[in-house]
Copies of this chain bind each other. A is one copy, B any other.
Amino acid sequence: MSSAREEILQATTALLEKQGSHATGLNEIIRESGAPKGSLYYYFPEGKDQLVSEAVLAAGQGVAARIRANLADIGLAAFILRIAENVESSGFAAGSPLTAVAMETATTNERINLACREAYGLLVTAFQDYLQTNGVEPGRALEQATFITAAIEGGIILSRTYHTADPLRTVAGQLGLLRFGVF
């Protein structure tokens, strides 16, 4: 696997997370990634749309993998508290690599919008599988997974805006009270 390609994707994800798509320039991506400047259009010949779409999808896969790796072990509330810690320790520059891009492009860039759908789908399905494993029937699990995803996304927005992990902790507490999958 090309390491330059991976470095470009990772730098792109971090910048999308921090400031969205339109504010992120290709020069900035190259600078942050440390990858060779000439390699950007070599690895991503279709330009920025391709790069952003792939970064969004890779980010969704990464988050879904973390859900699957940790949620069953520690439970939902603790999982969200872990997100809160990550948001905080990033100086509120990270948290949800999808939100800003999804909102910017929902009706203005079809290719990236489709990537966002696919990425969010991975998250929702990961939560849904967890709930079904805990005995929730599929339809109900999808609704609850959608709700959980929405609440976490919203908590990230508020925490990043206010530069405090409190809103995410509140979301963890309130969702924790619901004991999804238990009753």
Contact = CB atoms under 8 A, between A and B. Distances in A.
Contact of A160 (B92, B106, B175): B106
A116 B100 CA distance: 14
B146 A150 contact: no
Interface residues of A, number: 47
When all copies of this chain in the complex are counted, the total is: 2
A161 interface: yes
Interface stretch (A32-40, A62-70, A151-159): A151-159
Contact of A174 (B96, B105, B147, B154): B147
Contacts of A153: 150, 153-154, 157-158
Nearest to A114: B161
A39 to B, nearest CB: 25
A103 B108 contact: no
Interface string A158-181: 101111000100110111001000
A50 interface: no
B161 A146 contact: no
Contact of A154 (B104, B107, B152): B152
Given A100-B103, A103-B99, A174-B144, A150 B161 contact: no
Which 3 pairs across A and B sit closest by C-beta, in order of nearness?
A: A150-B154, A100-B103, A153-B154
Interface of A: 18-23, 91-93, 96, 99-100, 102-108, 113, 116-117, 120, 143-144, 146-147, 149-155, 157-158, 160-163, 167, 170-171, 173-175, 178
